[in-house]
């Protein structure tokens, strides 16, 4: 057992550490060694922090030796997506423009994990500034799917999902603007939750699209998801959009019971392009839940079909504003050969940003310019309101909506790289959730050609508890979460 500690879940590790069957240092060392053994192939991490991890683990062991009461994540090794600020540790957003940026403060979630005495093993790769679905847009390198190294891990939190699937951390944090936690969780066969907008503080998360961004956990099982949610949720005075509502103990939702649960299955989420094997696995999952006492009904959500075009106006509009701050003056890269300040701004941005980021800044700037604002941005906001209303209506009738997380399993590295639109179509099931601000979870529900299939469950705003209950019930009656890729 001791030599394969990295295979365990966060809650299993916690039990071992608390009962002194393993020290936090042994656990940390096991993950450090695991990263050394496999990350050359998987490439989950932009930066690893082994010395910091061992130092934090020693502090946990000391605290235990002194009889301190510690929380359930103390000594558990976690990884952080590289768009969340970590004081003194490189935070690059996988962009050349921030290749050398070391923040002077921690993101709120990073501080919360530190309070829980989580051990941090590194910063994970992403699509540059979280724009993409495969990590192929990383300014540095592509992450590989641990289930098949020729496939993408999904994105943008592909490094976080791959690190969890490859046992390079016990859990990771990701961010989700249009699916970036759930889709990589689906591709890598792990659990990923996008909480309700405002449930988790965004302070210190480097903004992509502020009205859509939300931080959440990627974990090996649903129990760990609840534990990480307990650690990171709650009002933060530094984020005005964080919600001042009580945070339940999410572990109380880990009950095996879906009796009387009303499931809606909206047909727009099984649109053209859905792999029949994915649809089959999702329908079988729904059947399993109905065999356990849930009821289901097919339904329709007309405006969900407009999710993609609305998102691809609103997200670029917000990103064009958020990314204006990267100008060579305050952070990161500054172009060397410029004669005056304007050319310094231009050259820095030209050299520092990748093609996808530039394209989105241009689309966003266009959509916000005088004369086009009403035609694009304002119209998109109106459709967003319709979509939100349609979800509210659906949740008057249903407790949860169930769909695939992604219409397909992981695609090949390079397979969609020349066709940015094909890749964007793949976000059709996840994006409406961000536009509505509601929570959703993805968990494994099958395989195709050895690649995991993801089940997406959505609930009304602030009802993460129902998501966890349904996901936990499903997990109790299936074995998908126990399977691991062979590396
Ligand atoms: N794939 C989507 C995009 O490219 C969503 C990304 C995200 O959630 N950060 O924008």
All residue ranges of the chain with pLDDT < 50 are 1
Helix (H, G, I), strand (E, B) or coil at 58: helix
Q: Do 192 and 181 meet the contact criterion of CB atoms below 8 Å apart? A: yes
Which of 132, 137, 182, 363 to probe ligand 1 with, by most ligand atoms within 8 A of CB? 132
Please report, for residues 18, 142, 203, 388, the alpha-carbon distance to residue 209 in angstroms, rounded to integers and kept in the order given. Answer: 40, 23, 13, 17
Token couple for 290: 């109905």
Look up residue 117 and give its DSSP letter. T
* Nearest alpha carbon to residue 181 among 156, 207, 147: 156
The pLDDT assigned to 224 comes to 99
**What string of H, E and C letters represents the secondary structure of 169-213?**
CCEEEEECCCCCCHHHHHHHCCEEEECCCCCECCCCECCCCCCCC
CA–CA distance, 64 with 475 (Å, rounded to integer)? 32
The pLDDT assigned to 1 comes to 47
Which atom of ligand 1 is nearest to 426's Cα?
A: 1
CA–CA distance, 228 with 236 (Å, rounded to integer)? 17
Do β-strands 191-194 and 440-448 pair in parallel, antiparallel, or remain unpaired?
antiparallel
Look up the pTM and report it. Answer: 0.98
Q: Which CATH class is domain 2-260+401-482?
A: alpha beta
Helix (H, G, I), strand (E, B) or coil at 46: strand
Which atom of ligand 1 is nearest to 427's Cα?
A: 1
Domain boundaries defined on the chain: 2-260+401-482
What tens digit of pLDDT does each residue of 43-84 get?
999 999 999 999 999 999 999 999 999 999 999 999 999 999
What tens digit of pLDDT does each residue of 215-265 get?
999 999 999 999 999 999 999 999 999 999 999 999 999 999 999 999 999
Residue ranges lining ligand 1, Cβ < 6 Å: 130-133, 156, 176-180, 208, 315, 427
The pLDDT assigned to 272 comes to 81
The pLDDT assigned to 2 comes to 58
Q: Compute φ and ψ for 45, nearest 5 degrees.
A: -105, 135
Look up residue 439 and give its DSSP letter. -
Cα(356) to centroid of ligand 1, in Å? 11
Helix (H, G, I), strand (E, B) or coil at 465: helix
Say which residue the tokens 């952070």 belong to: 331
Please report, for residues 106, 319, 356, the alpha-carbon distance to residue 362 in angstroms, rounded to integers and kept in the order given. Answer: 30, 10, 10
The pLDDT assigned to 420 comes to 76
């Amino acid at each position: 057992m001791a030599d394969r500690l990295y295979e365990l879940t966060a809650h299993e590790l916690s039990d071992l550490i608390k009962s002194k069957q393993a020290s936090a240092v042994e656990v940390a060392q096991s993950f450090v060694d695991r990263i050394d053994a496999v990350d050359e192939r998987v490439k989950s991490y932009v930066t690893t922090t082994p010395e910091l991890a061992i130092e934090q683990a020693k502090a946990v062991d000391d605290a235990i030796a002194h009889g301190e009461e510690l929380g359930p994540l103390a000594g558990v090794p976690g990884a952080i997506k590289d768009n969340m600020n970590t004081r003194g540790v490189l935070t690059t957003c996988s962009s050349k423009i921030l290749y050398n940026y070391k923040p002077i403060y921690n993101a709120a979630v990073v501080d919360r994990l530190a309070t829980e005495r989580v051990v941090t093993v590194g910063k994970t790769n992403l699509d540059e500034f979280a724009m993409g679905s495969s990590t192929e847009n990383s300014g540095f390198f592509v992450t590989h799917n641990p289930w098949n190294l020729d496939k993408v891990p999904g994105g943008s939190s592909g490094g976080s999902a791959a690190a969890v699937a490859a046992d390079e951390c016990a859990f990771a944090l990701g961010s989700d603007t249009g699916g970036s936690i759930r889709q990589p969780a689906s591709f890598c066969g792990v659990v990923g939750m996008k909480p309700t907008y405002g449930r988790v503080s965004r302070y210190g998360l480097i903004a992509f699209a502020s009205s859509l961004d939300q931080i959440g956990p990627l974990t090996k099982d649903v129990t760990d998801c609840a534990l990480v949610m307990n650690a990171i949720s709650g009002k933060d005075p530094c984020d005005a959009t964080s919600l001042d509502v009580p945070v339940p103990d999410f572990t109380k939702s880990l009950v095996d019971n879906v009796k009387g649960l009303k499931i809606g299955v909206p047909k727009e989420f099984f649109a053209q392009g859905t792999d029949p094997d994915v649809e089959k696995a999702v329908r079988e999952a729904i059947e399993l839940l109905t065999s356990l006492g849930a009821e289901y009904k097919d339904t329709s959500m007309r405006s969900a079909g407009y999710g993609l075009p609305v998102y691809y106006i609103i997200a670029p509009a917000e990103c064009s504003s958020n990314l204006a701050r990267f100008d060579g003056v305050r952070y990161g890269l500054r172009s060397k050969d410029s004669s005056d300040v304007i050319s310094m701004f231009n050259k820095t941005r030209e050299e520092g940003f990748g093609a996808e980021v530039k394209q989105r800044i241009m689309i966003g700037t266009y959509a916000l310019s005088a004369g086009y604002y009403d035609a694009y941005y304002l119209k998109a906001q109106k459709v967003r309101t319709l979509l939100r209303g349609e979800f509210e209506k659906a949740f008057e009738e249903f407790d949860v909506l169930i769909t695939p997380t992604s219409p397909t399993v992981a695609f090949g590295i390079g397979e969609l790289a020349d066709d940015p639109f094909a890749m964007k179509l793949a976000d059709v099931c996840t994006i409406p959730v961000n536009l509505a601000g509601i929570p959703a979870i993805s968990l494994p529900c099958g395989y195709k050609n050895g690649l995991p299939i993801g089940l997406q469950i959505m609930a009304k705003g602030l009802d993460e508890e129902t998501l966890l209950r349904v996901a936990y019930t499903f997990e109790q009656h299936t074995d998908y979460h126990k399977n691991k890729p062979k590396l």
